[in-house]
Homo-oligomer: A and B are copies of this chain.
Amino acid sequence: MKKIEAIIRPSKLNDVKEALTATGCQGMTSIEVKGFGRQKGHTEVYRGAEYVVEFQPKVKVEAVVPDDHAQAAVEAILKAAATGSIGDGKIFVSTIDEAFRIRTGESGEDTL
């Protein structure tokens, strides 16, 4: 099984969710994160004190999928999350050794 971690713009979460489900992915987990990268941050000023905020609000979507679905999932996300401007984010793919469904105790690809 592969774990797809996609760091995307918060406004793209819904599109990515729909794109992923369209590829047959039935579950995923999203996390609010702050991202640092090429995209430049903004400045806040409070009574003359300037704060440069370099971390941008992003959302990380994690979906564990069967090996043979991984490519489709990546492609779906690439399509759904892209705007073409700096800050669109990254996708990282890694390997999951084992998966379990807590409700039933089952393990394996069927649990996804």
What residues make up the interface of A, taking CB atoms closer than 8 Å to B? 1-3, 6-8, 17, 26-38, 54-55, 58, 60, 64, 74, 77-78, 81-103, 105, 111-112
Contacts and interface: CB of A to CB of B under 8 A. Distances in A.
B26 A35 contact: no
A78 to B, nearest CB: 5
Q: Which of A26, A60, A92 has the most CB of B within 10 A?
A: A92
Contacts of A84: 103
A97 B1 CA distance: 12
Contact of A29 (B1, B27, B36, B102): B36
Contacts of A37: 26-28
Given A29-B7, A78-B105, A91 B99 contact: yes
A32 B77 CA distance: 23
